[in-house]
Chain A
């Protein structure tokens, strides 16, 4: 079995008096893909945001490659964890190419020529080599999200986090983004994906984690999770999202 790359232990997180995460714990192994499912407001985004410390949490521990992350290593940790957002967040004042080389050049101090070479290679992989000089406002949502994936991959991270990457997309654009994510998965990336795309979960996930009310209700491989689901609450959730 491969080694654990990320582990969450008993994470508690409150916004003011509202406790949003009530003891979240799981492990991600090298190359493993976890899909997180759960109703809106259950704390899925908050889990991802705690993992790369965009949110602080009050209790519990997150370790990366066996080491607890200290406050002054945050920026360095984030270079190892790529994140893709629901709303793409492409830097609006930069071209596609500039978006992708920004962090490699300014954070990782990669030579610009090397970064451009890397970016062009990634643009080919996400099928956007002809858009390298476009701005976000000239691209469709699906294209923007593929740029966002390329931008995160350009840091050559160890883990990729996806927070409902297709939820803001028109239905006809979902497929192109899922295909790119599938390719990233097939290349061996360790991934945590929050999504309502059951097909993707069945196809790609090694484990499905179900979150409700800030707690993990279930955590098992997709065949078992979908085909042999005993929990009434989860069954009703699954029937609701498959109706959409």
Chain B
């Protein structure tokens, strides 16, 4: 085992750190970027930062050079993410674009399309959204109903998507539709990418519990898509969607604040009834749990990387990170407020410790436990795909989708 960098890794780390230091301020524990996820002002700032990274060759670190990447491995990508976490940079708005869409394009798009879209996406010039979830199908993605009908070289799409993050500013989207309701539910799906400016698309923002409006409803009325924008075969959309989703759970290790370091810093700074919070045994007990979880997730991810560097595919064990981190973030946010006692309810960036990080996260973190696979679905994934436990009794198999949809009514 070696938790140290190799010589070339160390060199890369220094290069990354030096470059970051020349561009952005170093981050103190608890310090957050002035503009938060979900704020409208974030997009141009995030794009500007992404373009800088791209020009300095720190975008798409593990992606092929011919598509604008750096052509290194995931290890370098993670090293960069580790370093970047120590600086104050805009929260990314490219999670879907880079983490999910690019791998899908690389696997399914034509050469010409890859050349056209991947570099522009890595540079942050074009932002993508993911048009998967529908009112009737979130966890049960394959229950989606948005219809696509083929007419020669063109498809016509009608239906509705929901929870589309960034749908209101995205330039492009990846879309799963039902092209055949007469076959079993996973078999009648077809996958496309679309221009969000196309006629027939209407985007309506949804207000979240925090008050921010980061996700949307998207309505399609006779939206026309050229067949050339189909990814994968007709009726094989489920397979393409799985490629997109698999990459959703291979996280880079960026952890939205507050995490252990933030609550640890808060506990050291905050004075309670009989001294600093950190001296209180009950608080120490809590902190210890979060430390071993945080560290455990980081180290587990590193183990996965080693397995990948040996040529193994990252498996469903990646779900661990998401299950653990999203609940932890919510609990840390709430505990941080509890430490602030009677004043903990105030949500004011100007006056609150760490610019109201805990209060904001309390209202933002519930979404982490839902988006990209709910806690429950991920435990099913671990139970079934890692431990090999028998699946639930399914009542939605081996029947035409149309019959199922009728059943729910």
A binds B: no
Binding site for B on A (CB under 8 A): none
What residues make up the interface of B, taking CB atoms closer than 8 Å to A? none
